[in-house]
Amino acid sequence: MTKPPFLERIAQRPLLADGAMGTMLHQLGVKHGISYDALNLSDPHLVGTVHRRYIEAGAELIETNTFSANAIKLKEYGLEHEVVTINEAGVDIAKQAIAQTNRSDIYIGGSVGPLGIHLAPLGRLKREEAKRIFHAQIATLIHAGVDVILLETFTNLAEIQLAIEVSKSINPDIPVIASMTFTRDDRTLLGETPITVAHTLAASDADVIGVNCSGGPAQLRRILKRIRQTEPHKPLIVMPNAGWPENINGRLAYPSTPEYFAEYAIVFETTGACIIGGCCGTTPEHIAAMRQALNDQNLPHEIETIEVITPEEEQSLEALPPTELAQKLVNREFVVTVEMAPPRGCAPEKVLAAAEMLHQAGATNINVSDSPMARMRMSPWALAYLIQERIGIETVLHFPTRGRNLLRVQGDLLAAHALGVRNIFVVMGDPTHIGDYPDAFNNHDIVPSGLIRLIKKNFNEGIDQAGNAMNERTGFLVGTALNLNRPEMEKEVDLLHKKIEAGADFALTQPIYDPRAAERFIQQYETQYGTLTLPIIVGLLPLYSIKHASFLHNEVPGIDIPEHVLARVANAEKPAAEGVKIAQELTLALKDIVNGIYLMPPFAKYYLAADVIDILAIPTT
């Protein structure tokens, strides 16, 4: 039986593609650090085995093992002169695998990845040279007999447009799939949004557009829907990773199960994808589960109706998606964030290990302080970035206004945003006279409420403080400080209201030791201004000893420890354990009053914070 032309086939019903080639080769014993594409010559049987397993699992589109088989990537292994032989062999192996499975309905996609270096003007690779490199690979794949050219995991729109142009110049009748990859913030590495990507690819000669790699199915469904809303008549492809990779015992592991992928196969189908497959971390087991789901007539297969995005709506939708913390606060999830101080030197390993422990204990965020007590420490920007990248938990960056002029403030904000640190806690900062450098600059150009307004009303709208347009809008979530124990409570209420009007998104409070302090403040605010909708995350500082408790009570403004709490610590056989117990009791008492807790472990004893968090994992009656 002759299979229909590729574009006719995908118009009939969803076509199931294969999964990850690299993941499977690694599972079959291939070590990292070699050219996987060169296996087409050195071990074609192994590559064919992967193809056959995917076909047997139910894939109808298999990709040649040629993702990095271009002259630039192959040069890393001294194989730049083997472009033609490696790509030809990749197609031959795929054809043999199809013949060995006796399937006549399998399509071969010629896999082409990005070149690995930026085109000018971002890089030194000139456009004509890039065209020559793409031409050598794509022409070989087409002449060897692929059914479709699959351009995948591209991060640069200009580069993928060039590859489309090259492919169509070789043979305009060979369909071209153009698939981009996105970062955690639903943008490409160069900052393009799904809307921009959809418009640009649809305006090119690509026959199918879409998204692959990136994160897991949930993220790609969100991006796929936005692409379809932007270009509703274009055929779509989606091939997600098996979730964000996790480092387990020194090895990368992907969390998404085959059963989870089966559910999303139907989700992708009903969202409008005509080609569905997998990328990094997916295996034949994932593809088999997806095949079963797509074949199950008891499941819904109708494509959902969506509202097409109008040009007027595009500007607001081009904004960055909310941070994970923002989503939790909107959903009224109980947040647990823990304060950590950067190291005094340049080695972050111990702090990162503690952050990993807190993440495993159940913390939802890590607060990174900035020069606490005006003592010299590593920049919190670096630690916040490392925690997010290495540990995988979102941070809240403390941003003092003290010691920074307005130029420095704005530059530092842009630096944080560029590093992916978008939760900001605006504070005044500790005066320098109490720290290591009492004669250091101690002035400021802007007060916290003014900085909140600058971030929310200017930066998040794409303009700086002077009114100059920036190249894009920021997407900061901004927190403010709150003292629940201030004697003049009406003044603290007025100050908080002023910060809310400036645009504050949440408040972190100083430590309290009586849940009624939160209740009283909320009641006072609502008496003066009406319903308090701002999420409140209450500070808890576990007491370590009676000496520690007495110091906090008597010498730290804003902290008031009731006599019965002081007595409990003083009479406890193990004061630190009693301090944890008190903090646990406060956590449970506050759970239905506020939006979360903000733990401040004493003396960098982060295990105490983990002990407090444990109470949230215990079912309550």
Summarize the confidence of residues 606-611 as an average pLDDT.
96
Return d(Cα 63, Cα 36) in angstroms, integer.
14
Do 308 and 270 share a structural domain?
Answer: yes
What pLDDT is attached to residue 120?
83
Q: Read out DSSP for 371-427?
A: SGGG-----HHHHHHHIIIII---EEEEEE-TT--HHHHHHHHHHHHHTT--EEEEE
Q: How many Cα atoms occupy the beta-carbon half-sphere of 433 within 13 Å?
A: 1
Q: What is the DSSP letter of 347?
A: -
HEC readout, 78-142: CCHHHHHHHHHHHHHHHHHHHHHCCCCCCEEEEEECCCCCCECCCCCECHHHHHHHHHHHHHHHH
Six-digit token pair at 492? Answer: 């603290």
Per-residue model confidence (pLDDT) at position 353: 95
Q: What is the pLDDT of residue 376?
A: 60
CA distance 387 to 363: 13
Residues 6+ apart with CB under 8 A from 361: 609, 610, 613, 614
In a domain, 160, yes or no: yes
Q: What confidence tens digit (pLDDT) does each residue in 135-169 have?
A: 999 999 999 999 999 999 999 999 999 999 999 99
More confident residue, 428 or 219: 219
CATH number of the CATH domain containing 384: 3.20.20.220
Instruction: Confirm if 286 and 261 have CB atoms less than 8 A apart.
Output: yes
423 in Cβ contact with 474 (< 8 Å): no
Residue 242 DSSP code: S
User: Residue 441: what pLDDT?
Assistant: 44
287 and 330 in a single domain? The answer is no
Domain membership of residue 211 (yes or no) is yes
User: Do 46 and 310 touch, CB atoms closer than 8 A?
Assistant: no
Check pLDDT > 80 for residue 182. yes
Structure confidence at residue 334 (pLDDT): 96
pLDDT band at 411 (very low <50, low <70, confident <90, very high): confident
Question: What average pLDDT score do residues 24-48 get?
Answer: 94
Are 285 and 190 members of one domain?
Answer: yes
Q: 343 with 443, same domain?
A: yes
Compute the average pLDDT of residues 453-472.
84
Q: How confident is the model at residue 443 (pLDDT cuts 50, 70, 90)?
A: low
> What per-residue confidence (pLDDT) applies to 124?
85
User: pLDDT value at position 253?
Assistant: 59
The tens digit of pLDDT for each residue in 508-517 reads 999 999 999 9
- Is the predicted pLDDT of residue 433 greater than 50, yes or no? no
Taking alpha carbons only, the member of 557, 429, 440, 556 closest to residue 488 is 557
- The token pair at 120 is 């000018």
395 and 518 inside one domain: yes
| Confidence (pLDDT) at 244 | 67
Radius of gyration of the chain (CA): 28
Provide the pLDDT confidence category of residue 405 given band limits of 50, 70 and 90: confident
Q: Are residues 46 and 140 in the same domain?
A: yes
Separation of alpha carbons 505 and 423, rounded Å? 10
The number of residues in the chain equals: 621
Beta bridge partners of 320: none
Beta bridge partners of 368: 340, 397
Please provide residue 73's backbone torsions phi and psi, each rounded to the nearest 5 degrees.
Answer: -65, -40
Residues pairing with 426 in the sheet = 399, 480
Whether 567 is in a domain gets the answer no
8 A C-beta contact, residue 95 and residue 108: yes
pTM above 0.95, yes or no: no
SS3 of 491-552? HHHHHHHHHHHHCCCEEEEEECCCCHHHHHHHHHHHHHHCCCCCCEEEEECCCCCHHHHHHH
Q: Phi/psi class of residue 210: alpha, beta or left (left: φ > 0; alpha: ψ in -120 to 50)?
A: left
Tokens of 260: 């989870």
Could you tell me the CATH number of the domain that includes residue 172?
A: 3.20.20.330
| Lowest mean pLDDT across 52-61, 72-81, 94-103, 303-312 | 303-312
Chain Cα centroid distance, residue 39: 33
The token duo for 213 is 């790699």
Do 166 and 226 reside in the same domain of the chain?
A: yes
Q: Is the pLDDT of residue 506 over 90?
A: yes
Of 463, 481, 488, residue with least CA distance to 473 = 463
Average pLDDT over residues 565-581: 96
Residue 417 contacts residue 385 (beta carbons within 8 Å): no
Phi, psi at residue 368, to the nearest 5°?
-110, 115
Q: Which of 453, 378, 392 is nearest to 420 (CA)?
A: 392
pLDDT at 436 over 70: no
Distance CA 442, CA 428 (A): 11
Task: Tell me the pLDDT band of 434, cut-offs 50, 70 and 90.
Answer: very low
Domain finish residue from 317, 345, 380 = 317
Question: What amino acid occupies position 420?
Answer: G
C-alpha 544/C-alpha 539 separation (Å) is 16
* pLDDT score, position 252: 56
- Which residue range(s) make up the domain with 335? 324-542+576-617
Categorize the per-residue pLDDT at 245 as very low, low, confident or very high, splitting at 50, 70 and 90: low
Distance of CA 117 to the CA centre of its chain: 23
- Do 239 and 277 lie in a common domain? yes
Residue 569 included in any domain: no
Query: Is residue 564 domain-resident?
Result: no
As a dihedral over the C-alpha atoms of residue 516, residue 517, residue 522, residue 528, rounded to 10 degrees, the angle is 120
What is the average per-residue pLDDT within 235-248? Answer: 80
343 and 472 share one domain: yes
pLDDT band per the 50, 70, 90 thresholds, residue 437: very low
Average pLDDT in the 211-216 region? 90
Pair 344, 300 in one domain: no
Least confident piece of the model among 18-27, 233-242, 395-404, 604-613? 395-404
320-371 per-position pLDDT tens digit:
778 999 999 999 999 999 999 998 888 899 999 999 999 999 999 999 988 6
Domain boundary among 317, 342, 358: 317
pLDDT of residue 70: 97
Q: Is residue 552 part of a domain?
A: no
Give the chain's domain count.
Answer: 2
First to last CA, the chain: 65
Quick check: 237 and 198 in contact, CB under 8 A?
Answer: no
Model pLDDT for residues 509-563, shown as the tens digit of each residue: 999 999 999 999 999 999 999 999 999 999 999 999 999 999 999 988 888 999 9
Q: pLDDT digit string (tens) for 372-383?
A: 554 667 889 899
Task: With respect to residue 437, please indicate whether it lies within any of the assigned structural domains.
Answer: yes
Average pLDDT over residues 401-409: 73
E strand or H helix at 581 = helix 575-590
Decide if 127 is inside a domain. Answer: yes
506 and 486 in a common domain: yes
Q: What's the pLDDT tens digit per position in 262-313? A: 999 999 999 999 999 999 999 999 999 999 999 999 998 999 988 888 766 7
Give the pLDDT score at 187.
Answer: 84
Q: Which two tokens stand for residue 460?
A: 């998040």
DSSP 350-369: HHHHHHHHHHHHT-SEEEE-
CA dihedral 468, 472, 475, 480 (to 10 degrees): -10
> Domain boundary at 275, 295, 317, which?
317
* Together in a domain, 328 and 262: no
Give me the pLDDT at residue 375, please: 63
Pairing of strands 208-213, 236-240: parallel
Q: Which residue has the tokens 């574009």?
A: 7
